[in-house]
Structure 1
Amino acid sequence: MRRGLVHVLAWLLATGAAVTLSWWGVHTVMAGTAYDPPRALPITAAGATAQGTKAPPPPAHRPSPSKRPPAPTPSRTPTRAPSAPAPSGRVRSYDTDGGRAVFELGASSATLVSATPGTGWSMQVWKTETWIRVEFSRGTDRVSVFCTWHDGPPHVEIGTY
């Protein structure tokens, strides 16, 4: 009886140590990421997503912003909307085989609102002062959504290669 109790106690300690070590490893990796809730586009009366309309004003109560710095670019994580006031331009969504990219297109610049890869696709984002590129990839397939505004108002091109 005592021997069985010692075996159960040893098993419990080993299992507890393994769970603790696993939790610590996952926590350490996930602590470097910051996932904000997705920012939804306005919905029309018919129930379809409105493209090219302004987003509703921000709610009166907002959660406190994350204290972690934003992820460096290029990024392989889903891009989140900045915690800024409502967009001042048009919000446009671009659906591709690789995923969806949503931009706020202003008069002389653009902002990436969100980018979500499709199932089985990965994503990378590059940003400069005059363009934003979102590339979706799966194996050797590539789909790029390129938004530029260096020589005029923002212009979006989609390329598959």
Structure 2
Amino acid sequence: MRRGLVHVLAWTLATGAAVTLSWWGVHTVMAGTAYDPPRALPLTAGDAKVRDSEPPTASATSRPAPTPTRPSSTPSPSSSRTTDSREPAGPTAPSPSSPATPAGPSGEVKSYDTDGGRVVFDLGRTSASLVSATPGAGWSMQVWKTESWIRVEFASGADRVSVFCTWHDGPPRVEIGTY
């Protein structure tokens, strides 16, 4: 009996040491990688008021909508321009005098705070898109998208919070359910 107990104790200590050493090695390697959870910055009431009073502008991640071109008999300055090897090729920034327009048919950007996290939708006239979804501390998140609805579900243990945006039979509407 005593001999069996010594074997079990030795096995437990050896297994615990191996697991600890493995965890420490993996943790050390993974500490500086891109696998850290994203951090969302909180918005204050003052930020929301300023944002609502200003016209929408293009963000760093959106692209301006392409403008239709008309064929003309005289070449425009931009089409006759040759690329100089000293000048970087690529998109140019819009001039300060021209207003920037977001890509696509954007509408009103609304955020919905729930017990499980925060969801932000871009609500257009006939459709919607998910801008961001950030789970709260201790909550996980799952997203479903189709042609006519988007569902974001936050889960923590047995608690569930669902944010459901539909637009199949009219303008987008958002429903929040807790179960």
Task: Tell me the TM-score normalized by structure 1.
Answer: 0.56
Residue type at the aligned position of 2:46: G
* Displacement of 1:84: 3.1
1:118 aligns with one of 131, 136, 140: 136
Alignment of 1:3-152 (within 5 A): 22=26, 26=30, 47-50=46-49, 55-59=56-60, 83-85=61-63, 86=102, 88-152=106-170
Distance 1:157 1:37, change over 3 A: same
* Displacement of 1:37: 8.8
* Displacement of 1:49: 1.8
* Displacement of 1:48: 3.3
Residue type at the aligned position of 1:133: R
| Structure-2 separation of matches of 1:120 and 1:37 | 14
Identity of aligned residues (%): 58
Partners of 1:122 and 1:138 within 8 A in 2: yes
Give 1 or 2 for the bigger CA radius of gyration: 2
| Structure-2 separation of matches of 1:38 and 1:138 | 19
- Comparing both chains, which one has the higher relative contact order based on Cα–Cα distances under 8 Å and sequence gaps of 6 or more? 1
What does the per-residue CA deviation read over 1:39-66, in whole Å, with 9 as the maximum and x for residues that have no partner?
Answer: 998x8xx72324767642234xxxxxxx
More helix by share: 2
RMSD: 3.5
> 3-state SS of the aligned residue for 2:46?
coil
| Structure-2 separation of matches of 1:148 and 1:52 | 24
For structure 2, the residue ranges without an aligned partner over 5 or more in a row are 1-21, 64-101
> 3-state SS of the aligned residue for 1:111?
strand
Partners of 1:52 and 1:90 within 8 A in 2: no
Distance 1:38 1:98, change over 3 A: closer
* Displacement of 1:109: 0.4
Partners of 1:123 and 1:135 within 8 A in 2: yes
